[in-house]
Amino acid sequence: MEPRRASYLLLVLAAIAAMTTCSVLLTMTGGIAMFGPGKGPASDDDVHAARREQMVRALAASGLGLEPHVLDAMERTPRHLFVPDEHRHVAYRDTPLPLSSGQAISAPGVVARMTQLLNVSVDDRVLEVGTGSGYQAAVLAEVVQHVYTIEILPELAETAAARLAELGYSNVTVRSGDGYLGWPEVAPFDGIIVTCAPTDVPEPLCAQL
């Protein structure tokens, strides 16, 4: 690995990010309605866009020191489309939400902080371990060239891949497998993000930076 690249490569662990991330609590209910001159109630898309904008404003004021490109990525990524239907009305609260199989989608503040800690740029390639709903991969896809993401549960990997494709994230590749082994066929990566909080850093991942 070149010294120039080594200076900014960072393996981000979910446990570390979670400990250093402040919680930004938004009070949002399902009863938001917006009206304009000559217009009726806002569409669901308008309501979610307003909630997403409010979430980003709260993150910007949270003291996390999030950079503009990270906040822009958070604003462009429709989190409500990555959560189960029954939780869409609270999709933009800064809290984790349950998925199937006992998994969860990380809180937006954690996702934003982890994205920033990765310290990557538009020409970089990133590996994500733990696809989950695909939300973190979607946020990363807004700031890097390509995201490779691995999910150990086949049903989650399949659902996330279909969702990301439907939303037009052509720069995300999903596969099912043991993420702790990495993805040597497409390594090296400019950054690796682990969302499933391992007890230590898996050696195969270090070798793929």
What contacts 74, CB < 8 A, 6 or more positions away? 52, 55, 56, 59, 108, 111, 112, 139
Q: Which of 7, 101, 106, 176 is catalytic?
A: 106
Beta strands in the chain (DSSP E): 11-13, 97-98, 104-105, 125-129, 146-151, 172-176, 191-194
A 10 A CB-CB count for 14 gives 20
Contact call for residues 196 and 129 (beta carbons, < 8 A): yes
Whether residue 92 contacts residue 108, with contact meaning beta carbons closer than 8 Å, is answered with yes
**Is-catalytic flag, 133?**
no
- Tell me the sheet residues that pair with 194: 13, 129
Cα–Cα distances (Å) from 67 to 71, 72, 112, in that order, read: 6, 9, 9
Among all residues, which ones are annotated catalytic?
Answer: 106
